[in-house]
C-alpha cells in the first residue's frame, strides 16, 4: 500500500491509498494513524470501504507522520511506511495533483 497527500491546509490533511498488494481476504476497512512529529500521543481513525481520509483539527505549520493498515474479520495487516506531511501556514492551503 502506498499513501499520497491530495490536499493540505493549515488544520487538515487529506490522504489516499491503494489496496494492499497482497489483496488480503475481503478487506473490511482501514486504520489510519497519525502523530505530530516529536510528540508521543497518536490519533487514530477507522475508515470503512473508502481509501481516503481527511485528518482535521491539526496544528498549522506542523509535521505529522501518517500510517495506514487494512483489516478484516481475521485481523489487521502491517502498517504502511510513514508518510511525513507538513500542514500549511495559517491561512494557506495547497492541492497536489498526481499524473500517471
Question: How does pLDDT run across 18-34, given as a tens digit for each residue?
Answer: 888 766 678 889 999 99
How far is it, in rounded angstroms, from Cα 58 to Cα 62?
A: 8
Evaluate if residue 81 carries a pLDDT over 80. yes
Q: Specify if 44 maps to a domain.
A: yes
Q: Measuring CA to CA, how many Å separate 3 from each of 18, 22, 74, 84, 91?
A: 7, 16, 23, 10, 25
Number of domains making up the chain: 1
What CATH number does residue 31 fall under?
2.60.40.10
Average pLDDT of the residues of the chain? 86
Amino acid at each position: 500500500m502506498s499513501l499520497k497527500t491530495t490536499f493540505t491546509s493549515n488544520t487538515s490533511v487529506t490522504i489516499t491509498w491503494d489496496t494492499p498488494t497482497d489483496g488480503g481476504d475481503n478487506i473490511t476497512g482501514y486504520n489510519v494513524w497519525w502523530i505530530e512529529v516529536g510528540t508521543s500521543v497518536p490519533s487514530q481513525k477507522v475508515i470503512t470501504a473508502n481509501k481516503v481520509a481527511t485528518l482535521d483539527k491539526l496544528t498549522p505549520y506542523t509535521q505529522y507522520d501518517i500510517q495506514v493498515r487494512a483489516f478484516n474479520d481475521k485481523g489487521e495487516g502491517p502498517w504502511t511506511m510513514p508518510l511525513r506531511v507538513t500542514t500549511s501556514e495559517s491561512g494557506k492551503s495547497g492541492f497536489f495533483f498526481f499524473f500517471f
